[in-house]
A and B are shown apart, each in its own frame.
Chain A
């Protein structure tokens, strides 16, 4: 009704409303209506200020390196190494799920590919572990190409199902092939080398600390670069990202293969640490636990994912006192955390700080615009 009254005139004789629009002058460009008011910046509480401090990461690394001097019991070293390897997997999966938004339910497949490649090459041919690493990377990339190639053209739900199947295929294949040892798996996998006076498990622990530390650093840097930005855009809106000139397929592929390499290298560490690997280690539950570490910690946030991985891998150990109840308590705790902190324990900040140079630059152009 209202429209009719407004638009009742012919186009040659605009209505009063249209005339008013025409005559309002040209000073109003861009001053469109009111959105929500700018959010007030919250004051950071002391805890988040502490953990946000640049030195915090170094303190954590120093503690990790110093652990054998604090508690050198075989048990402490063992569960810490497990936790570190789990961190490696979680940051790798974080690239795929957290950065790029590709739901991968079979991530343990790459872990298995890495562990088996390294284990088989080192036991059958007697190669040192370090020499198997390039082959592990190649195998992981090939695995990523085989599974990612056809499926990354699909959207998330399909990818989730296909990766789920892929995870199972790898495990069942390992269970049935001869050179992988069938259900017995591969055993007698050597250490990284001979470290003389040092205890072998502590030497392995230190190597794992270094490798995982580098992996965490690499994944966090990847997330902030040009590629990382493209991943985030694809995650937020694939179509719009494409309209902005992002080669979405290539970018998704890069995320998937990066995740595969992280998983494969995690497998190498696992093989050395366990000295024996067998198919049940790579079941669906394991993929789900890695995914849980990512979601629990905060998707797309490197520190969050590290915290999530530590919790997921150490909590069952800390709950040993609860005997048979420990997995029930573990599950309940996870549910409680997800209800009260659905964004994760340490979520990715949306108001990401630009790089130091960038921050200065944006401050200057803010003042110029406001003139």
Chain B
């Protein structure tokens, strides 16, 4: 009850300053722009704006940053849906169905659903954060190395859900991604692996340029090839709001994914990107029509978007209560709070309720503002796709180059992005899915490092993975997910085969 009163007080504090809402609005709008530009991630957006908040009162400064965080995670989905280039890693799962939707001319609807899902997921995350932060934080601490390993293995089973037509090709892509993650300085042994003496490779395969290469550059090459042959898709901008019936049918997915996202985000080290993939795979596994996934299923947009915005609230929890950031963005926010004179940690809830509750209230308000700005802007964003492909492709190409450079101001990274882009383009030609590579890049280091760490802890006794309850549960879930997803996969192939056969028979009879 105390927390509810504190929360209401905080709303009052925020509303008592007329500029507060303005800062949220500016933050969310700026966040959306930062988020939808490839290479400018929510993390960078927040980091870039921290110095600007120095001159603001702490509450207003933080509202601005929270706005960017919220807007940035959401904004990544817009470019994912429109141009198949996720603006942030968290949106990489959204494009699997978002892009096919926009190719069908339903970009507006896809963005509309992404907006509503982000709002619902984000609100669930913000509410869980406001009322359950200390309890959730204690839960997050129960994750040690064996638990993280089991979770990563569980995550890797999602490859089955995102492999497309061939499981074998999906597995090959994932293994390739896992191999890439072994490049660079190994933090466990302090030894350089596969760097061939290059300082640039010592840093490993940088994630953002790889992401841009896999989707952005590859899409550019693909566009260039098709430019003169395939007529451009004209997006029906008119319908932004999905029908009430559609929204109602998506609500269970959104609520479930938002909750899953918040829980995932609250475990230190797991961010919005992992949350989105988990929710996507779960939605597909339990969907009534899984065969639509990958071809423009509405749930395929709703689930990851609800989850990644839910994860924003979740990630704030360990940062505020323990001083341990849940992901990269909250790490920057932790720095910002520190500079403003509030050291996040257990004492923050004792000494500085004056900042804790405005943060909670601010997070909730950010979701509302996001809904309004997102729906208002959706029409405008969807129109972008109607720009002549020849111009759009050139612009995307430029953005991809700038994006891969700017993450750490490195030309090496531009080359890296281009190389991976060429590779991804040919993989596309050979019908290899590229999403498993991305998933492997995210989960590979987590799986490898924590496996080794666990074995160090147990002194090479592998039973450590099965004797700890959380670890055992996730390993069991991994097996369960793998089996059920595989059965679904087989069923789907059968249905598709039958459809193809029927079509062939029909063709024959027509011809005959």
**Is B a genuine binding partner of A?**
no
User: Hey, which bits of chain B sit against chain A, CB under 8 A?
Assistant: none
